[in-house]
Copies of this chain bind each other. A is one copy, B any other.
Amino acid sequence: MTEPSGRRERKKAATRQKIADTALRLFLERGYDAVGIRDVAAEADVAVTTVFAHFASKEALVFERDQDFEQRLTRAVTDRPPHEPLIPALHREVQALVEHCTAEGSAPVRRMIEGSPALREYEESMSLRHAQALAAALAADPHLSRSATACGATARFTIDAYAMACRADDPRATVDEIFQMIEAAWEATAP
């Protein structure tokens, strides 16, 4: 994304990446619960305090790239061509995000998440933050003129669609079906 110029920033980013990579590797090798923070730190050759300087919690090590997620959702709203209807834009973006998270390579990570209550809970609370960011983006769109409640509800419904589709047998069909519902719900709030 952004290539930092200074050596300091580069080293910091490298440390962060090394920690994240090491953690994910160990988690997949031995299981999330069987790997302690002290193990991750030792294997990545950093101090425990350094791990927590880069990641807010053990769970955050698994969801390293969640900022991307939030940005992609909000940008699907803010960067869409003017007068393009909202719901299809959201629909398309959620479809893409779900594809990404149900891709071949993501299966072991998904299994790990589903197997750990702590990780599921963390993911859920991440989703809530994403919904709030999306709600703010909707409320800020001058073309939409809907109530804050309608924006908030639509944002949560959208996140619900993503969360359910990631766990569904047929993710694509699930997204499509729920977005039919969201479309209807959104229309029902037209001024």
Contact = CB atoms under 8 A, between A and B. Distances in A.
A153 B161 contact: yes
A152 B181 contact: no
Interface in A153-167: 153-154, 156-157, 160-161, 163-164
Contacts of A157: 153, 156-157, 160, 181, 185
Interface string A123-145: 01100100000000000000000
The winner among A156, A164, A181, A183 for most chain B CB atoms within 10 A is A181
Main secondary structure of the interface of A (DSSP, over half): helix
A97 to B, nearest CB: 17
Contacts of A177: 147, 149-150, 153, 189
A162 B163 CA distance: 18
Nearest to A161: B153
Nearest to A176: B149
Contacts of A147: 177
Contact of A152 (B120, B152, B164, B185): B164
Nearest to A156: B160
